[in-house]
Amino acid sequence: MAARERLICAASELADGGDGVRFTVERFGVVEPAFAVRYRGAVYAYLNRCAHVPVELDWVAGKFFDLSGTLLICAVHGAHYEPESGQCVMGPCKGRRLIALNVVERAGHVYLHEDEGL
């Protein structure tokens, strides 16, 4: 089955190493929180769920990066993730990953590719 695209946000809403944009996805019939961020010019998106315990990463909506703007951080557990891969590099879930979502940036907008079952 072909993937559908859904608009997440205008590309200009995502500053490099800055605030992310929250949205939701439906996976296996369940609506789940997700987010998109920009890092080193590219856009990345993940389920908004720590790999350690299933809690959302941001306590303040859209604040996913640490103070340096180089790693994603779980506000609950302090786990640090690489923005490009979602790999946990420090914290209680070291070695595990965030669940990546397929996004594309085109014509000034960011789109989510939604597959059957996502």
117 vs 24 pLDDT, higher one: 24
pLDDT per residue as tens digits for the range 54-108: 899 998 999 999 999 999 999 998 999 999 999 999 998 888 999 999 999 999 9
| pLDDT of 1 higher than 50 | no
Helices (H) and strands (E) in the chain, counts: 0, 10
Which domains can be identified in the chain, with CATH numbers?
4-114 (2.102.10.10)
Whether the per-residue pLDDT at 116 is higher than 70: the answer is no
Residues 98/81, Cβ–Cβ less than 8 Å: yes
Output the pTM of the full model.
0.92
Tokens 């949205």 sit at which residue? 23
Average pLDDT, the chain: 93
Residue 16 predicted with pLDDT over 90: yes
